Structure formats: structure tokens, C-alpha cells
Amino acid sequence: MWQESVNVFVYEWLKMPHGEKLSDALNFFIYDTVKILFLLATIIFAITLLRSYFSTEKVRAYLSKKHEYTGNVLAALFGIITPFCSCSAIPLFLGFLQARIPLGVTFSYLISAPLNNEIAIAMLLSMFGWKVALLYIGFGLMVAIMGGIIIGRMGLEKEILIEVKPICGEITANEQQIPFTIRLKDAKEYTQDILAKTWIYVLAGVGVGAFIHGYVPTEFIVRVAGVDNIFAVPIVTLLGVPMYSNAAGVMPLIEVLTSKGMLMGTALSFMMAITALSLPEAMILKRIMSLKLIGIFFGTVTLGIIGVGYLFNAIL
């Protein structure tokens, strides 16, 4: 229905001819921009409302009493329903350290929060179906859990540069009874705030995707990142690390790249690298931990993402 409306607008009202690069790119840009913004608003509101019933303090109290490996799993799962930007996950990362939660467990959360966020999962589900979404969740959790365990086993606590004063005594969480109307109001305000911060990324992502859709030949994408290039996964992963975006901004690009012939695992490795690792995140972390720990963190996650890309390509 919406696609038909966009077709009428571009090809009949604007009288742009079918099949030309500019008209096809414009059609893609309008269709995907409105679709993604609507999807984002709906999903963010629903997830924020659901998340209001989960207490961060309660999770911190629960994790502080768990065995390290159990904590890695639970922290990675908790990352699914918390902030979907690598930088915005850092304050809760510090809160975990303050709650005396093991360093490896806190890294499982820090890896999982931007990688497995609800926005990425919902958009993958709507664009590529449940099979891709479930595989992505499984592999994303695996990277977060194993990455946290590896870092935790290396005894790097001394590489934390700032003094994180532990919470004294038993860590508890206060029960709060919040009226449903307040939860609705908070969800609405949070949705508006997130959309205000991310719409520019959506436009940029869709704009790049529209250009690729209209102007970049399919043969070029297949040659650079298709099945015949065995180095495509590490190449796109390393290209993605210096970039910075969230899932909402990069997902339109992934949709176009896969439609042009890039293998799904290769495209998702690119997305994972962009969302889970970024230069702004490294700059913030530089105030918290040593370059050695940042390098180990980025290196461990990068290798995990490359491995996931190859696994995805082998399965799909």
C-alpha cells in the first residue's frame, strides 16, 4: 500500500520515468525513510513501555550475586533491552563496576547493548524474516558472552584508570509502583527524544542506500563482497570499526547491500562493527581504561564479528 503511494508520487505526480537511476533512488529514499521512521517510533515506544517494568537497580543487585559465567550470560541478555548506542551503554557499564560485578561480566553487557539492541532485532525481523533475526540474536549473544569471558579471564582489573568506588553493604533494589499513565508519558517522551537524536542518521543511512540502489552496479558489489571474495568479511568489518552509527542508521544500507548481492553474513559483520565498536566510544573509554584494555576489547570483538560473518555465510 505504502509502496504504491510512493510509486504514484514519484512516477505520476513528479512525472519521473521508470527505470532511471535518479527516479529509482528517490523512490527508494522516500519509501525507506518513512517506513523506518514509523517502524522506529512504534518499536521504541513499545519497548520503552515494556522496559519500564524492568529495574536497572534490580538487575545490578541480581547480577552481583551470580557466578561469573552465569553473569556473562545474564548481562548479555540484559543488553537486549537497554540503550542501543555503544556510547550510551557506558554509564551503566560503570554502574556495574560500582556494584562489584566482575569486569568480564560488565564487558559482556558493554558488547551486547549496542550489538543486540531491540531496534536492530526488530528491523532485521521486518526486513529479512525471523530466521535471520534469530541467528543474529544467537551469534550476537555468543560474541558478547565469549568476549566477556575472555576479557574476564585475563585479569585486567588494574587497567581501569578511574577510581570506581564500590557500593557499600548489600546491594538492593527498591520496588516502585509507577502508574500506567506515567509509564505511557515517559515512553512517549523517550521515543520523541530518541527520534530527535537518530533521524539524521536514518536520513544519512537511507541516502547512502538510495545512492547505492540507484547508481552502484550490482556487479561491483558482488565482485568486492560477494561469494568469490573470501576476504570480504574481514575487509568490511575493519572498514566498519572506524564508523559510527546505530542500527537505525545502518540498517537501510544493509538492506541495499544484500539486495545488490553482498552475502548476508558479510553485510551483518559490517553492521556489527559499526554499531558495537566506534571511535567515539573509544574516546570515551580512554578516560575510563587503558589503551591496552581498549585494544583487547576492540580486538576480541572484531575477531568475534569476523567469525560470526563467516558462520552466517556458511549457514544461509
Amino acid at 200: I
Give the C-alpha separation, 292 to 273, whole Å: 19
pLDDT band at 307 (very low <50, low <70, confident <90, very high): very high
pTM over the 0.75 mark? no
Check the CA dihedral 241-127-257-9 and report its sign.
Answer: negative
Burial 266-291 (b: 16+ CB within 10 A, else e): bbbbbbbbbbbbbeebbeebeebbee
Identify the CA nearest to 309 among candidates 231, 213, 222.
Answer: 231
Give the C-alpha separation, 124 to 35, whole Å: 13
Mean pLDDT confidence for 199-203: 76
In eight-state DSSP terms, residue 165 is P
Mean pLDDT confidence for 9-28: 78
pLDDT over threshold 90, residue 149: yes
Give the C-alpha separation, 150 to 44, whole Å: 32
Contacts of 156 (CB under 8 A, 6+ apart): 103, 292, 293, 296
**What would the grid cell of residue 257 be?**
547491500
Judged by average pLDDT, the poorest of 36-40, 65-69, 115-119, 179-183 is 65-69
Are 199 and 40 a contacting pair, CB within 8 Å? no
Residue 169: its pLDDT value, please? 47
Give the residues across from 160 on adjacent strands: 289
Are 316 and 267 a contacting pair, CB within 8 Å? no
For the stretch 219-269, pLDDT in tens is 766 677 777 788 889 988 887 877 766 666 677 778 888 887 888 898 888
Per-domain boundaries in the chain = 35-315
Residue 133: its pLDDT value, please? 87
